[in-house]
Structures are given as structure tokens and as C-alpha cells.
Amino acid sequence: MPFHPLSDGIHLSPNQCLICGQPPGTAIPSIAVDYRRSGYYGVPTADRVIVFQLCATCYPTHVGNAHPSGFPRGETLEAAIKAGIRAYDFAAEEATRQEKRDQIVVQLDTAEKLLAIGQFDAAAKAAAIAISEDAHALDLPKDATIRGHDVRSAAFEAAGKFDLAAAEAIRMLTLLRELPNGESSSNTGEAHLRVGEILLKKSKPLLAEPHLRAALRISEETGSPDHDIVLDALGRCAASKGDFAAAGRLLG
């Protein structure tokens, strides 16, 4: 992609002219920009020099009139250097952000392993990183945040902390419903079932029933293998309300 000197966040190829974006050719004139002295970097945090390449046409046009200090004063070149440095900074920052996102995914893997071996409190704590403010600032993919709520909900439920489990499951359900086709996806159906089951354990069948009926609708639409599990939960829900006739039909 051609490099536009006034654009932000452009990833400059080593084989592009800083000004026009064309290949610099066999002879590659260059200019060096010292972060410490150029003033383009803002707060100097590193002793770094970036070398930008210019083609044979742009070099004499824009570097011919340079300050005695060695830094160009042409407005086009100056703007291009600023944009080029922003591009390098953006790439470095994004690499750091991606590394942190990858670390969160690894932490989620650890949380799921802890959950599998019955370390419920440790699993909930490990998964908390995916729903933290730091994770939000990293633009963590929504599926990772959903995993975090999923693990925490399951861990709290297994530990008998049903209020916390319900809160995490509802947050997970909310995020799932925001996804494309989220109102009718099998994952959303499973989340409705999770919420309904937890509410039944909290002896709140009236609150559980809408979630279980939503889970039933989705399971019928998607052919989910959870269909019989949903019917069983609805039967127990009916029994909790004292509707034993409906419970018998659902559980029979």
C-alpha cells in the first residue's frame, strides 16, 4: 500500500520511499532521525535512530535544504517523518498489546485446567484477568471475555456460590447475545440453560423459567444435543412451582 505522508498508523515497508511510497530503486538514499533530537517522538524514551528511505526523485527535492543540524525543514518531509515515526510507534505498541492479549488467553487455558481438577477458587481468580479493566483496554476479543465469564460462572457454581455464578452467567449471556446471530446461537442456548439451572439452585423457578424456555426454543431450532437436558430442567422448574402435571409431562 502506498505510504501517505500525512496518514497515521501506516506500516512503512523497508522498501518504500518515505514520501511517495514507491520502491526506492537500486540506489537507496536515506535520512536518519534521532528520537532524542528530532522532537518528533514526544518524550524521549529510547536511544534509537530510525532510517527512512527515499527514492532518487524525492531525496534531492526534499532533503536538499536541510538545517545545519542535519534535520530537514521541508514541510512535506517533516510531516512524512512524523507519520513514519507514529507508524513505528503504533506497530511497537500493538505488538506489546498483542503479547498481553496472548498472555490472557494462556491464563484462561490455565483457569480451565484448574476448573477441571476441582480448584474452583483458583480457577475463578485466574479467569478474572479476562474481564478486568486492563483486558478491556487491550480490546480483548469478545470470545476471550466470554470464556472468562464462563469459567468463573462454572467455578462459582461448583463451589456453591450461586449468586456469583448467576451474575457471571448473565454477563456471559449478555455478551453472547450481542454477537451476530447471537439471539439464536447454540452457545446462547447453553448460556440460557446455565442461567436457568443456577436460578433453580437458588430456588427461583419463576426467574429460571424464561431462560429455560429460551434454551428450549434454541435447542429445537439448532438441533442441540442439550434438548433432553433442557426438558429435564423445565420439568424440575415446573415441579418447583408446584405444577406437577406439567412436570410429569416434561420429565416423563
| pLDDT, tens digit (0-9, with 9 covering 90-100), for 137-169 | 777 788 899 999 999 999 999 999 999 999 999
Would you state the pLDDT for residue 70?
A: 42
Tell me: pLDDT of 219 over 60.
yes
Q: 238 or 6, which is more confident?
A: 238
Q: What is the domain partition of the chain in residue ranges?
A: 1-94, 117-251
Q: Is the pTM of this model over 0.85?
A: no
Tell me: pLDDT of 46 over 70.
no
Would you state the pLDDT for residue 88?
A: 63
Please state the three-class secondary structure of the chain as a single string: CCCCCCCCCCCCCCCCCCCCCCCCCCCCCEEEEEHHHHCCCCCCCCCCEEEEECCCCHHHHHHCCECCCCCECCHHHHHHHHHHHHHHHHHHHHHHHHHHHHHHHHHHHHHHHHHHCCCHHHHHHHHHHHHCHHHHHCCCCHHHHHHHHHHHHHHHHHCCCHHHHHHHHHHHHHHHHHCCCHHHCHHHHHHHHHHHHHHHHCCCHHHHHHHHHHHHHHHHHHCCCCHHHHHHHHHHHHHHCCCHHHHHHHHC
Select 117-251's CATH number: 3.10.20.30, 3.40.50.300, 3.30.70.360, 1.25.40.10. Answer: 1.25.40.10
Give the model confidence (pLDDT) of 73-131 as tens digits. Answer: 455 566 666 666 666 667 777 888 888 889 999 999 999 999 999 999 999 999 998 88
